[in-house]
Structure 1
Amino acid sequence: MGATPSHGGHWVDTWTAMPQSTEPDNLPPPPYAKDDLVLADSTVRQTVRVSVGGRRIRLRFSNAFGSAPLPITRVSVASPAGGAAGVSAVQPGTARPVTFSGRSSAVVPAGAQIVSDPLDLPAAPASVLAVTVYLARGQSGAVTSHPGSRTTSYLAAGDQAEAVDLTGATPVDHWYFLSGVEVWSEPAGAALVLLGDSLTDGRGSTTNGNDRWPDQLFDRLRADPRTAGVAVANQAAGGNRVLADGLGPSALARLDRDVLARSAARWLIVFEGVNDIGTAEPTPAAQRELADALTAAYEQIVVRAHARDLRVYGATLTPFGGNDPYDDPGGHREATRQAVNEWIRTGGRFDAVIDFDRAVRDPAEPRRLLAAYDEGDGLHLSPAGYKALADAVPAGLFSE
């Protein structure tokens, strides 16, 4: 399987997707899901944009939420046609087989993940890879995926793992099973991990445009030689909360898996909490209790991350004025947002503060997003708004 020597470099997470349990509406459409069996004798091709590059890569596949083993029959990696995200074709002659302990197939136990053998395949910074998976038997029961891919994947019948283009392909805007891409990096290479919700997952960004704020932040960092080696690992999911499970486990529950276990993680940005506020009852008592619990949870995240030598940066929560249902008539949730943001700014628990609230709020009405940054619902951002978030992150934080 070609082991990688430990000297002269290390593995760095250059792309990640937070594993989630797949809800019924996000399962593959018929005929790819039938009778409690998903993707039997089927191929899924998905594209991902890496952050930092490297001369070797390896892949991670997750069955974290599977209720049965995941039988992977064949996997290939290729350059997508035109180097673009969200396309079904690959460049002829670029497909390379992926192995697991020297074998072309693998079975991932329920609740587990698997790491592929290293592959001598140089990946350039900000390049797009096409990962194609064929499942002969399919998977029964629950399925692990990342529904909010904002990237088009393709499903096709039969074994088309190394096909240049897929015959009879069905587009779906989800990622399935694939949870990480690592590159073999120089010793100084390290990863910034992002813990967040739909605002970091990219709701409101351009499908196949890779213009979420994490993507735009990486583009900024890559342009500066001092930060060009900083990888960005986006571990966010729409609907996620800090305290309670929702769409995916809470941030407290998934911290070990999604942050502390990431390869070469050195920094963490915590930008999460709006869903906790927005789903708590809009009464003074409930919101006071929520604010206390949320700030205590932030302290716990800092303590646990510091134990693994990560520097932790807190991002203020952005406005949701005018959003239905989060913006309650009495303004109790807005008062909690302001209190939590004041704690983030002045509490002294984070190693640094990133003021996302200030970056995107309307100066004339600070409880609302600036109209040019509003995706349309008063909560989520447009690509221009995500650029404002990316620009608000001081690059100097990643020289420490």
Structure 2
Amino acid sequence: MTFGGKPAVSVPPGGEIDSDPVRVAISAGMPYAVSSFMGREQKLIAWHRVSSQVNYLSMPGNHAGDASADAYRQRITQFAWVTGVQVEAPSSSTIAAIGDSITDGMRSSLNQNRRWPDALARRVAQSGDKSVAVVNLGISGNRLLTDSPCYGDALASRFGRDVLAQPGVKTVILLIGINDINFAAMPVHGGLDCDAPHTQVTADGLVAGYKRVIAAAHARGVRIFGATLTPAALPPQREAIRAEVNQWIRTSRAFDGVVDFDAALRDPADPTRLRRSFDSGDQIHPSDAGYSAMADAIPLQPVVGGLK
């Protein structure tokens, strides 16, 4: 792999760079390994915390070319260094799933690809359409309106870089806001407080943020579907904000369409909570079955049909 024809590259803090194209045979649905070597002076200061996937660190030395697993003794469950692989397919298009830990797939089964964007990708492939890709741009802990020292830039700020700059994106599914509602009530921690700032939000504030994202998508000719916020066993004041936001998502017609994840996951006996079979155990994040139900709730024809 080369970068501008050179075998090595320096990337400034906060920056990213694409490699030169690499000709390699690929098969749909197969896993691929990308190995890279970092210099002695390089420190890992940013990474994707929730990968739901085992990744490997080697023993000292340059083992990027090793086909054997012998040198890779340490396992981690974070993504580091590589943020994505782009495949040249001029006639294809992309659905971008963006949001927080529920899009990231937190508490889904390790190495099983059971996040809801994975399940959506399988639904699209099973429909016979091989020209549509699904990319997962969820970040655990991410908020719509507020940056975090641990969970990245606010979605409203990162939307252009993380979504609109992706090649081939024509449709977005947006699920974000539950952390904005919750983090104001989290206890303040000494030292690094990942939930800071503990910003109070209102339904009107979240709606204003959604409108910013919708306007950015439409300015680039990208369709955007709004997903309702899923049940999280919230206390009454916070639950009232979630309910008001969901009502706006369903009825405002500001989005190009609605994905009702709330209706798909809620317990009929108590709509403020996840159905037991869809709860991973923390009352917020779905189980594998819950993530599958989310993918099944996406109206495939409006989402995929509009890509043609």
- State the TM-score, normalized to the length of structure 1: 0.70
Aligned residues: 290
The 3-state SS of whatever aligns with 2:110 is coil
The 3-state SS of whatever aligns with 1:107 is coil
Which structure is larger by alpha-carbon Rg, 1 or 2?
1
Q: How does 1:190-229 map to 2 (within 5 A)?
A: 190-225=93-128, 227-229=129-131
Identity score, percent = 39
CA contact (8 A) 1:192 1:269 kept: yes
Which residue pairs with 1:278 in the alignment?
182
Structure number having the greater helix percentage:
2
Which residue pairs with 1:317 in the alignment?
229
Which residue pairs with 1:158 in the alignment?
61
Q: Distance in 2 between matches of 1:288 and 1:276?
A: 8
Q: Distance in 2 between matches of 1:107 and 1:295?
A: 40
Per-residue displacement from partner, 1:217-252 (whole Å, max 9, x unpaired)?
100101112x33111111111111001012111001
Which residue pairs with 2:71 in the alignment?
167
Which residue pairs with 1:334 in the alignment?
239
Whether 2:210 is the aligned partner of 1:298: answer yes
Which residue pairs with 1:139 in the alignment?
42
CA contact (8 A) 1:287 1:333 kept: no
Moved over 3 A (4+): 286-289
The 3-state SS of whatever aligns with 1:171 is strand
CA contact (8 A) 2:56 2:72 kept: no
Which residue pairs with 2:248 in the alignment?
343
CA shift, 1:364, in A, is 1.2
Which residue pairs with 1:181 in the alignment?
85
Q: How does 1:44-193 map to 2 (within 5 A)?
A: 98-140=1-43, 143-156=45-58, 157-163=60-66, 164-167=68-71, 169-187=73-91, 189-193=92-96
CA contact (8 A) 1:191 1:266 kept: yes
Q: Distance in 1 between matches of 2:41 and 2:121?
A: 36
Which residue pairs with 1:55 in the alignment?
none
Which residue pairs with 2:195 in the alignment?
none
Deviating more after overlay: 339-348 vs 112-121: 112-121
Q: Gapped runs of 5+ residues in structure 1?
A: 1-97, 322-326
Q: Distance in 1 between matches of 2:257 and 2:211?
A: 13
Q: Distance in 1 between matches of 2:14 and 2:140?
A: 21
CA shift, 1:137, in A, is 2.4
Per-residue displacement from partner, 1:335-367 (whole Å, max 9, x unpaired)?
111110000000110000000000010111111
Matched residue type, 1:333? R
CA contact (8 A) 1:280 1:290 kept: no
Matched residue type, 2:9? A
RMSD: 1.7
Q: Distance in 2 between matches of 1:181 and 1:122?
A: 14
Whether 2:142 is the aligned partner of 1:250: answer no
CA contact (8 A) 2:107 2:286 kept: yes
- State the TM-score, normalized to the length of structure 2: 0.90
CA shift, 1:167, in A, is 2.1
Which residue pairs with 2:296 in the alignment?
391
Q: Distance in 1 between matches of 2:285 and 2:258?
A: 21
Which residue pairs with 1:363 in the alignment?
268
Which residue pairs with 2:192 in the alignment?
none
The 3-state SS of whatever aligns with 1:267 is strand
Q: Gapped runs of 5+ residues in structure 2?
A: 187-197
